[in-house]
Amino acid sequence: MRAYGGVSENMGADSALDLMNSLLWNAMIVAAPVLGVALAIGLAISVLQVATQLQEMTLSYVPKLLGSALVLIALGPWMLGRVTQFAIAAIRTIPQLG
């Protein structure tokens, strides 16, 4: 029997919260390298713009894009593996829910 939203009535609130906690932590860990590099590059370019008084708004886009692409190329397999492991673990818990 299904409750509203497609969640099994047998799934306890603690199981749902644990799954959501895992989901959010994994999302944060996977997104952190790309966001950190984009933040560092943006900060460095902002300091450079202030020091040189060059106020061009589009100057930061290309370095951020290149830095993010390099991080995705370098850490993409690890990110994909982490997300895949989470998905497999989540799918394996389905029989225990109902």
| Averaged pLDDT for residues 71-92 | 96
Quick check: 7 pLDDT over 60?
A: no
Residue 59 gets which letter from DSSP? G
Residues 6+ apart with CB under 8 A from 3: 9
Rounded Cα distance between 40 and 42, Å, is 5
What pLDDT score was predicted for residue 2? 41
What pLDDT score was predicted for residue 16? 84
Q: Which residue has the tokens 């818990």?
A: 93
Minimum mean pLDDT range among 7-21, 57-71, 81-95: 7-21
| pLDDT > 70: percent of the chain | 88
pTM, 2 dp? 0.77
SS3 2: strand
Quick check: 14 pLDDT over 90?
A: no
The tens digit of pLDDT for each residue in 36-62 reads 999 999 999 999 988 988 888 788 899
Check if the beta carbon of residue 41 is closer than 8 Å to that of residue 61. Answer: no
